[in-house]
Structure 1
Amino acid sequence: MFTSEENDKIIKEELEAIKAEIISIYNASGKRTTGEFEKGLKIEYSPNKAVLSGYAYLAGRKAGKMPPVQAIEKWVINKGIKPIEAKMKTSSLAFLIARKIAQQGTKKENHLLIYDQLITPERIDKILQRLNQINVTAFIGEVTVMITKLVTNL
């Protein structure tokens, strides 16, 4: 008989693989500073369903709103970026970077589109094919059992 255990197993395998690949590409990109990104990737499971969520900031930021200066300062420190002028504080540099991001956004060529790279229509189709294979096999098995019962009861 059909159970969702096999579906859940496939869904878990596929999403864990996607999560691992996202982390691998992110770490190889040189954008890693604090490890916060990895901690922010979460998978929530429920029967026949799973949701992968994470930070969207890898896709950059449009101009208009200033990012938190404290976050930029933490990034500056973790990246080892030093102000050019000896008298300038790291917090001042962070403020200037945040203000420039607010005015101009971030450069599109620096954006890391991991989610778009990995969660493609082809990949989703492959996952659905795996799920369909199990479900069709289970369905055929159930129909065969029903037909056998019907034939033996005639």
Structure 2
Amino acid sequence: MKVHPVPTKKRNITVHYDVNSARDASSIVSHHCKKLRRLPHIFSSVLELPFRSDADVEVEEGPGFFRFVAETDGIGSDVCALTVEIHPGVTKVVVRPNGSLELLPLDQLELDMWRFRLPQSTRPELASAVCVDGELIVTVPKGEEDDEEEVEVEDGEVHEWGGGN
């Protein structure tokens, strides 16, 4: 008969339904708690369409744009893409009918919205939305960052714009 040694630390988590043990567990957690760090935003731009998250939206990526096409029912022909800065450096493109960005009370706030994380190469402030023949078409252009330096070569000389000394 083989005898296995008893591990000194328990590797599994057990839940006790006793009030005293819950109090002891909370004191143990508070002593070994790590301070959480905020992760940097991987996606700093998000597109939000006025549909539920399970809506069928066709996403097309071209060389200079992202295009989102979805069939609509009752949205109307007057739509607008608005850019909202949620947090410094974090923007959200919100598409709303009639171009209105009204603040809804918490009981009417819709959290189940169709969202798409836009890559860094997009220009969310230039997004546009149109409704044609019952289809909502949202276009978000791609572009280079404005703060990149332009280099011009002329007669063998290199001229730097925007960052030269």
Q: Write 1 or 2 for the structure with the bigger share of helix.
A: 1
Structure scoring higher RCO (CA < 8 A, sep ≥ 6) equals: 1
Q: Same fold per TM (> 0.5)?
A: no
TM-score, structure 1 normalization: 0.22
TM-score, structure 2 normalization: 0.21
Q: Write 1 or 2 for the structure with the bigger share of strand.
A: 2
Q: Which has the larger radius of gyration?
A: 2
